């Protein structure tokens, strides 16, 4: 099911140069910006892509983790259904924090750290309620991270050409993550899901921390 999505992501990358940047006045204003002005949104896009690799790694296999931990498939899926319902809290929280003018550094840092913690805890024997709680926390902070990433990219992208790649980055991440997990499943089993998810989230955080500082200094 991921192959058509990957093709769509690749097609988006190919046609992005054809997307108009707006009026001539806007183009002139953008041209006055320094040549390296695309570095910030591109870095943000890279951080989002890597983060989505971690999300894809976990979400593709999380039901199997539940079954491996002793749950029937229907109970594991029930846990995920509950967590998806609760996840809206994260998006609402991000909206509330942004409305109060809270800088993105602390919310995103905490959210990524919590996702790493939950990725570590989502393994071993679990009842369905325990899995639902862990998956809910993971998804709440997942949904808190995304809006801040997207806002950072959009705010710093004067041309608008990079922000339109956000869906492609998300889709590509959800495609790449499970592939990376598959490389290690044969040797270490489902623990690969936890390790790969944590690694990608950590890499995203390492990129985001200095990016956040630069965005703040640039007034975004």
Task: List, for residues 29-81, the tens digit of each pLDDT value.
Answer: 444 444 447 899 999 999 999 999 999 999 999 999 999 999 999 999 999 99
| Residue 30, in any domain of the structure | no
Q: What average pLDDT does the segment 10-22 reach?
A: 44
Q: For the chain, how many structural domains are there in total?
A: 1
Assign 220 a pLDDT band (cuts: 50, 70, 90): confident
Mean pLDDT of the chain: 86
- Residue 11 belongs to some domain of the structure: no
Give the model's confidence band at 5: pLDDT under 50 very low, under 70 low, under 90 confident, else very high. very low
User: Is residue 51 one of the residues assigned to a domain?
Assistant: yes
Question: Is the pLDDT at 23 greater than 50, yes or no?
Answer: no
Mean pLDDT of 121-139: 96
CA distances for 94 relative to 50, 59, 86, 218, angstroms? 20, 21, 14, 22
Q: Single out the residue of 199, 203, 196, 171 nearest to residue 61, CA to CA.
A: 196
The per-residue pLDDT for 68 is 95
**Is 198 a member of any domain?**
yes
Distance of alpha carbon 41 from alpha carbon 161, whole angstroms: 10
pLDDT band at residue 219 using 50, 70 and 90 as cut-offs: confident
Q: How confident is the model at residue 108 (pLDDT cuts 50, 70, 90)?
A: very high
**pLDDT class for 3, splitting at 50, 70, 90?**
very low
The CATH number given to whatever domain includes residue 118 is 1.20.1250.20
pTM for the structure as a whole: 0.82
Q: Which domain holds residue 93?
A: 38-217
Please answer whether residues 111 and 201 qualify as being in contact, where contact means their C-beta atoms are separated by less than 8 angstroms.
no
- pLDDT at position 37 is 72
| Per-residue pLDDT at 187 exceeds 70 | yes
When pLDDT is cut at 50, 70 and 90, the band that residue 101 belongs to is confident
Q: Which residue has the higher pLDDT, 26 or 158?
A: 158
The answer on pLDDT for 158 being more than 90 is no
Residue 18 lies in a domain: no
Q: Is the pLDDT of residue 210 over 90?
A: yes
Distance CA 113, CA 76 (A): 24
Six token digits for residue 41: 């949104």
């Amino acid at each position: 099911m991921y192959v058509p999505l990957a093709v769509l992501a690749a097609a988006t990358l190919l046609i992005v140069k054809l997307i108009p940047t707006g009026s001539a006045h806007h183009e002139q204003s953008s041209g006055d910006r320094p040549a390296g002005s695309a570095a910030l949104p591109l870095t943000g896009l890279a951080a989002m892509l890597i983060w989505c690799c971690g999300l894809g790694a976990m979400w593709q296999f999380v039901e199997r983790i539940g079954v491996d931990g002793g749950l029937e498939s229907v109970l594991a899926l029930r846990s995920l259904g509950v967590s998806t319902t609760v996840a809206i809290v994260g998006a609402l929280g991000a909206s509330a924090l942004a409305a109060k003018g809270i800088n993105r550094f602390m919310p995103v840092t905490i959210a990524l750290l919590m996702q790493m913690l939950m990725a570590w805890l989502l393994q071993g024997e679990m009842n369905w309620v325990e899995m639902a709680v862990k998956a809910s926390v993971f998804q709440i902070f997942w949904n808190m991270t995304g809006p801040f990433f997207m806002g950072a990219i959009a705010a710093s992208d004067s041309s608008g050409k990079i922000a339109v790649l956000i869906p492609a980055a998300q889709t590509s991440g959800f495609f790449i993550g499970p592939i990376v997990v598959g490389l290690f499943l044969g040797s270490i089993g489902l623990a690969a899901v936890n390790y790969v998810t944590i690694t990608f989230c950590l890499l995203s955080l390492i990129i985001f921390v200095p990016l956040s500082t630069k965005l703040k200094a640039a007034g975004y």
